[in-house]
Structure 1
Amino acid sequence: MIARPHAPTDASAALDTLAGWLASARHVAVLTGAGMSTESGIPDFRSYQGRYTQNASLADVLSIDYFLHNPAAFWEAFKEIFELKLTGDKQPNAGHRFLAWLAAQGKTVSVLTQNIDGLHQRAGSEQVVEVHGTLQQALCPACGRMHDLAHVLAEPLPRCLSCHTALKPDVVLYGEAVHRFDEALTHTLAADVLLVLGSSLEVGPINLLPLEAQRHGIRCALINLDATRMDRCFDLILRAPIGQTAQALQARLEGSR
């Protein structure tokens, strides 16, 4: 754990402090990144980079330009990169379940996720803003018809059932704007606590949420194994696994009732 000047100086005290914040909060905004799902067996997105360094970077392959110019090659690469997620056999972990449990206690829990795996919904969270989209569907760029994952997986190059146009996954590709940022910001500024879980905070504009929360006097906590360039925005930082930390927080919250 890294302590800010006014933060607890040991991990147990930090957990006690964070549990106290969550206990008194009516509205908790939670920003989750790739580290949230690694404990479910889904690799960090950046771990795929090595597969594409010889001929094209990951950013090139997963770009809107690459999709528009070569949809067949795009879909071949996309399905390879996200194979583990597309199989649908991954399950929510203790971190996902904790957020759903917290909401079940009567609190408003706004989950603002950079992940596209759908595990928050599978865990039972109902208020989820997927700022980078979802793997669970694909969109026709021509007519706007949505298609489910089963249709996407049925053919190497999935096409629209209405107009036969090559489908685009309903995710934010490089070169596109994030989804629903204004909504994510609104939830953040309405919260009593902003909790960031497993995000490197490298991708904008989502990485501005802790800065905006800090500016508005909202308590900010980060649970992440590595340092981020936005660490200065947080009142409390825990360098610990998310699942383990979530279980410790839930035990404290249950013990305080």
Structure 2
Amino acid sequence: MIEAESVERLAQAIQKADRIVVLTGAGISTESGIPDFRSTEGIWTEDVSRMDMMSTSYLRRNPERFWPVFKDIFRVKIEGEIKPNRGHYFLAALEEAGKQITVVTQNVDGLHVAAGSGHVLEIHGTIKKAYCPSCGEQYDVSYVKEHEVPRCIARLPGGICKQVLRPAVVLFGDQVEGLEDAFAAVENCDLFLTLGSSLEVTPVNYLPGAAASGAAKMTAIINREPTQMDKYFDIVLHTEIGSTLSYIAKRLSIQI
């Protein structure tokens, strides 16, 4: 009964809000077949050393070893035919219905953009591109897939560049992207909604506190497991994202 009441409160909050900021984590993409790296059974829990290997310092020290490990960790996102799910389409449909939606995503899978959301802050970058750290030439994921260790093939005055590429993903040790824009959006939102994030990563996990301090009229979270930040939310739902948002979509007569 409590869960049903909370879902109804969230539906009403979404209906009333004009400006909505949505923070999404790995949990929104599990329905698309992408593992949740930070769940209790996630890959980071299984092998913490991979965090070190996915760092900027490791890439600089050993770029040719970095790429096989990177591809192994992100194999599903690089090689799989992953598609947006109900959660991604729900947010795009809200925007289509006239809501001002800002999606702040920790994910690098590009699924919010693929679903049709128009204002997406990919604060951890995207798996869909790579670039040359020397000359800046950009490459799409299909080029990365074709080469075990992708190198730049740009023609320079002195010949072919040949520099090992860098993924357009924020690695451990990098600064996140677009964080100022995210906080600015939170300062002007009616509803702050978190979907599928453990809220363990800083500085992104400062957003709920900023929203709860008075910037947002309402705060809500849907996450399968409890988080250390649940205290900052008016509505807390420990349930599945896809089925919950599908119910809310029907409740609000939104097609997803």
TM-score (structure 1 length as normaliser) = 0.91
Pick one of 211, 214, 230 that aligns with 1:213: 211
Matching of residues 53-72 of structure 1 within 5 Å: 57-72=49-64
Instruction: Give the equivalent residue in structure 1 for 2:231.
Output: 232
Matching of residues 78-227 of structure 1 within 5 Å: 78-162=70-154, 163-218=161-216, 219-227=218-226
Query: Residue type of the partner of 2:197?
Result: S
Instruction: Give the equivalent residue in structure 1 for 2:43.
Output: 48
Deviation at 1:50, TM superposition (A): 6.2
Deviation at 1:127, TM superposition (A): 0.9
Distance 1:147 1:217 in 2: 39
Residue-pair matches, total: 244
Deviation at 1:52, TM superposition (A): 4.1
Unmatched 5+ stretches in structure 2: 155-160
2:134–2:163 Cα contact (<8 Å) kept = yes
Matched, 1:38 2:30: yes
Instruction: Give the equivalent residue in structure 2 for 1:6.
Output: none
Distance 1:70 1:217 in 2: 44
Distance 1:32 1:173 in 2: 18
Deviation at 1:161, TM superposition (A): 2.1
Deviation at 1:51, TM superposition (A): 6.2
Instruction: Give the equivalent residue in structure 2 for 1:16.
Output: 8
- RMSD over aligned CA atoms reads 1.4
Unmatched 5+ stretches in structure 1: 1-8
Distance 2:135 2:104 in 1: 28
Q: SS at the partner of 2:219?
A: strand
* Partner deviation per Cα, 1:204-250 (whole Å, 9 max, x = no partner): 10000010011124111000011111111101101110001101111
Deviation at 1:34, TM superposition (A): 0.5
Query: Residue type of the partner of 1:26?
Result: D
Distance 2:110 2:15 in 1: 27
User: Mean Cα displacement is larger for which, 98-107 or 155-164?
Assistant: 155-164
Query: Residue type of the partner of 1:230?
Result: M
Q: SS at the partner of 2:252?
A: helix
Distance 1:178 1:217 in 2: 22
Structure 1 residues 227, 50: closer, same or farther in 2, change over 3 A?
closer
- The runs of 4+ residues in structure 1 deviating greater than 6 Å are none
2:23–2:194 Cα contact (<8 Å) kept = yes
Query: Residue type of the partner of 1:120?
Result: H
* Partner deviation per Cα, 1:164-186 (whole Å, 9 max, x = no partner): 21111000111111111111111
Query: Residue type of the partner of 2:126?
Result: T
Matched, 1:244 2:243: yes
Instruction: Give the equivalent residue in structure 2 for 1:254.
Output: 253
